[in-house]
Structures are given as structure tokens and as C-alpha cells.
Amino acid sequence: MTPDAADPTVSALTERELLAAILTRLGPGRALVGAGDDAAVLAAPGERIVASVDTLVEGPDFRLAWSSGFDLGWKSAAVNLADIAAMGASPTALLVALTLPPQTRLSFVLAIADGLRGACAALAPECAVEGGDLTVSRTLTVAVTALGTLAASAPVVRSGARAGDVLALCGDAGIAARGLAILFDRWADADGTARPTAGLDELDAAERHAVSRQLRPHPPIAAGVVAARSGATAMMDVSDGLALDASRLAAASGVTVDIDSALLGGDEFALAGGEDHALLAAFPPTAALPDGFRAIGAVVPAAEGPVRVDGVVFSGRGGWDPYRSEPAAG
């Protein structure tokens, strides 16, 4: 068997053949009616569905020189699972739309499926890919719709923080951004063109960990429900940088947040770096912070600047905005 026969491009397959190969890798779903019909049918015990969608596009969101198919599948799942967790909900299903260049190898597509399945198994075991769509384009794109359910608790929204609340974080802060900086420093040309890493053996353990967290983030998905049950007044996923996302929470709630830099460990990437997908939450001052959450500051009455650091209006680099930033994602 020739290599092309063993690993054809997607242009050599019918949609049905490609879909069948992907579904084999994803494994069984948990829907009442799963992939293969016009739509999935999901059980909703609480009768309240939480839904979110996120798109990863080659170039601004990932570089194929750095990301394997498994990395891409994992990250596509993780960033969407985090949005559901940030509402205090439990993820139940993902719907995945793949836009594939014709020259894409089947093995790469199956690796994406393996990454999707691996992330669900590790981060949200009750969640699975239950359907999606396939199409063709010159730009590789993965668009994921995530669905979740709310049980007994109300959704935790961004607008509920009140002056006097404790500002807390669960998950990494700045590690993924440090990993991205390492990738650009070691394996990118002056114009930002990514070069293949050819392995990470030249990095020390801390650097390898940072790069791995950039390519395969580990958001604390289960902590979202725990935070809701512990009385969180507001919560959101930190995807674009702690300072930028904290400003969004502050604006929605009509307050200012004051971050204590010492509680962040003095990490230069912690305030501006994104893609860790940690959970940022506010809790009443009398509430005990749930396991995994650590205090990083306080919610104070609205004042000049939505975000302050050690009492001073934050004016540093604000994080990732796709309409204001240069393409720089991993």
C-alpha cells in the first residue's frame, strides 16, 4: 500500500468516508440521538441549556508549525469547555465544524478527533462530541459549539460582582503566555513566521511545561460548578489576559477590581497573558473560597479605571484582542 493510499488527503475522500473515519476516532457519544442525523438530541435534566461557540483559525489562533493535530483538537475542546464552566454549568456536548484545505492528510484530521476526545475525557468526562459539519477552504479552521446544563444553581454571570467581594482565580496565570513567548523566541523568524519545533528537547522542564500549556491548556472545568455552589457572584473564563478579562467583569458589574500583584507571584506574564483559561470569580467576603481558588485581590466601588494593580490604575499591555492585536497565537 502506498503512503498516499494509507493516508489520503481529504480531497481523495467523500464526505461520508471522512465523517465515518472521524466518528470512529471520537468514540460513542452520550446523546439520545448522536452524530449522523440532521441534529443531535440531548437530555437536559435541568431544562436549562448553556451554549457557547469559539473558532480557532490557522494564523491568528494556532500555527501548524507548532501544533500537532492532537494539540489542535485538545485546544479546540478546552477553550470551549472553559466557557461553559465559567457559567457554573457542566459541559455535556460539543458540536465541531472542520474547515479543511484539500491537501490535509486524513491522519491529521484523525489526530484532531483524538485530541477532542482526549480533552473531553481528561477535563469533562461527561461531555463528548455529538455532531458537527465538514467543509473545504484554503484556511484550516475549527469551530466548536459547546453545550452544558445548569442543575440546581443559577448561572454565574459577569455582572454580579459587588464592592466588598473577594476576587479569586482558579487555574494557571501567565503560563500559556510564557509558552507562546518561548515558541516565538526559539522557533519564529523576525517577521513572525513560525518554524517547526522539531521537538522540545532543548528546553528545560519549566519551559516545556509552559509550551505544553500553550498548546494543550488545562482549564479547571469542574471548578465552575463548585464555584457556583460556593456562592460566586460573578465569574468568567480568562482567555485573553487577566487584566483585560478582569476589566470586562468590572465593566459588566459596574465596579473596579484591584489586583494584588504579590498574590500573583510577581509573574510578568500573569496580568497580560491569556490562553490559560483559568476561572476568574468574585465571592462574597464571608464565603469560604472553594478548593483550587486563591484570592488575588478585591472588588471595590467603581473608580477611575476598571482595573487597578496595587491600588494604581493598570495601564500596561492589555491582553489579546483579535481586532487590535497582531496575529500571535500558538
What are the binding residues?
Answer: 38, 52, 54, 61, 83, 132-133, 158, 237, 239-240, 275, 320
Cell of 113: 478527533
Cβ-count burial 54-84 (b if 16+ within 10 Å, e if not): bebbbeebbbbebbbbbbbbbbbbbbbbbbb
Cβ atoms of residues 240 and 276 within 8 Å: no
- The amino acid sitting at 213 is R
CA 276 – CA 330 distance, rounded (Å): 12
The strand pairing partners of 33, in sequence order, are 41
* Annotated binding-site members for Mg(2+): 38, 52, 54, 83, 133, 237, 240
Reading the block at residue 318, the C-alpha cell is 492589555
CA atoms of 92 and 149, how far apart (whole Å): 7
Q: Residues forming the annotated binding site for ATP?
A: 132-133, 158, 239
End-to-end CA distance of the chain: 35
Measuring CA to CA, which residue among 71, 46, 39, 34 is closest to residue 56? Answer: 71
Q: Binding site for substrate: what residues are annotated?
A: 61, 275, 320
Contact yes or no for 97/62 (Cβ under 8 A)? no
Query: What is the radius of gyration, based on Cα positions, of the chain?
Result: 20
> How far is residue 161 from each of residues 78, 158, 165, 254, 295, measured CA to CA in Å?
25, 7, 7, 8, 14
Q: Exposed, middle or buried: residue 9 (CB in 10 Å: 0-12, 13-18, 19+)?
A: middle
